[in-house]
Amino acid sequence: MTEPTTPRPGPVPPAPPIRYVALGDSMTEGVGDPDPARPNGVRGWADLVAEQLTAAHPDTRYANLAVRGRLLRGIVEGQLDACLALEPTLVSLYAGGNDMLRPRVDVDALMGVHEQAVARLRSSGAQVVLLTAFDPGRDAPTSWTRPRQALYNEHVREIADRHGCLVLDYWRMRDLQDWRYWAVDRLHMSTAGHIYVAARMLELLGVEHDLELPSTDRLPVTGSPGVLKEDLYWAREYLLPWIGRRLRGTSSGDTVTARHPGYTTLLPRPVVPAGPAPRRVCGVPGSR
C-alpha cells in the first residue's frame, strides 16, 4: 500500500463562511429522492447537507454541479473548472459509479484522472470529501461489479491519504444493505437512503444536525430481488431502457443540466409530495 504523504484529517467542522460545491453523477444530483418543487424534480443528500450547514451557519452558500449519467472523465471535464471558479471552501466528489457499470473499465487509469482532479481541488485550499463506492452485495443487479468497486475504493482511500481528504465510506454503510433504503429502480437510493447518507456526511464534518433517520419498519419495500413478478417488472421498466441507452450511445443525463450551477442558499424545508408511490407488484420485505 502506498504510504500517506499527508495525514488524513479528522472531523473538524468547516469554518464559516462556507461555500460548498457538490460534484458527481446521479447519486449526488439526488435521483431517487423526488421533490417536484426543486430543480430537476429531486432533492438528495447534498441538498440536505447544505440545508443543515445553513442552519448552523446562515451565510453558507451551496452549488450542486452533479448530473446523472456522467462518467468520471465527463465529471472532471465538465464540472471541475466550474467548481474552482466558484472558489469553494468545501467540496464533495463522487465520480466513477457509471464507469463501473461499463463492460470494460481500466480502474487504475481512471483513478489517475480522479487523483489529478483531487490535487487541483486541494491546491485551491478547499476541504475535500471523497466518497467510496457502495457495496452492492450479492442480490443487487450490479453485484458483478464488486471486485472493481473494491479496487476503486482502495484507490480513493490512498488518494485521500496522499492529499489530506476526508473519506465518507459508503462501502461500509451496512445499514444500506436493506432494500428499503433503495428506490424501485434498484440503482438509486430512496429518500430514506439519501437522509441516511446526509446524516453520515454531517457527522463526518463534525456538524450537528436535526435529520431524523426513519425507522426501517416504517419504510416501504421498494425491491425484492428473486421474486419473479418483481424481477420481470424491474427488467421491463428499468433494465431494458438502460440497455437501450447503452446501445444507442445516449445517457439519462443528455438533456439534464446542473441543478444549482451557481451559489444558492438552502434552508431546511419539507419535501413536496410527489404523488402516488411507485407501482409495486408485492410488498415482501427483503434485504440486500
Written as tens digits, the pLDDT of the chain (288 aa) is 455 555 666 667 788 899 999 999 999 999 999 999 999 999 999 999 999 999 999 999 999 999 999 999 999 999 999 999 999 999 999 999 999 988 899 999 999 999 999 999 999 999 999 999 999 888 777 788 899 999 999 999 999 999 999 999 999 999 998 888 888 887 889 999 999 999 999 999 999 999 988 777 777 666 666 555 565 555 565 556 656 666 666 666 567 899 999 999 999 887 665 544 444 433 333 334
**How many CB atoms are located within 10 Å of the residue 123 CB?**
10
pLDDT at position 288:
42
Q: Does some domain include residue 23?
A: yes
Q: Does some domain include residue 288?
A: no
For 151, residues 6+ apart whose C-beta sits below 8 A from its C-beta are 107, 108
CA 62 to chain centre: 16
DSSP string, 20-52: EEEEESHHHHTTTSB-TTSGGGB--HHHHHHHH
- How many angstroms separate the CA atoms of 17 and 198, rounded? 20
Q: Can you state the angle between helices 107-123 and 72-85, rounded to 10 degrees?
A: 0
At 190, which CATH number? 3.40.50.1110
Q: Does some domain include residue 2?
A: no
Residue 274's closest CA among 183, 161, 202, 170?
A: 183
Q: Does some domain include residue 89?
A: yes
Q: Does some domain include residue 99?
A: yes
Q: Does some domain include residue 212?
A: yes
pLDDT at position 184:
81
Looking at the DSSP assignment, which residues form a beta bridge with residue 189?
182
- How many angstroms separate the CA atoms of 180 and 286, rounded? 8
- Paired sense of beta strands 90-94 and 19-24, if any: parallel
Query: What is the domain extent for residue 184?
Result: 19-264
pLDDT at position 55:
94
Q: Does some domain include residue 287?
A: no
For 176, residues 6+ apart whose C-beta sits below 8 A from its C-beta are 134, 182, 189, 193, 196, 197, 288
Q: Does some domain include residue 161?
A: yes
pLDDT at position 285:
33
Total tally of structural domains belonging to the chain: 1
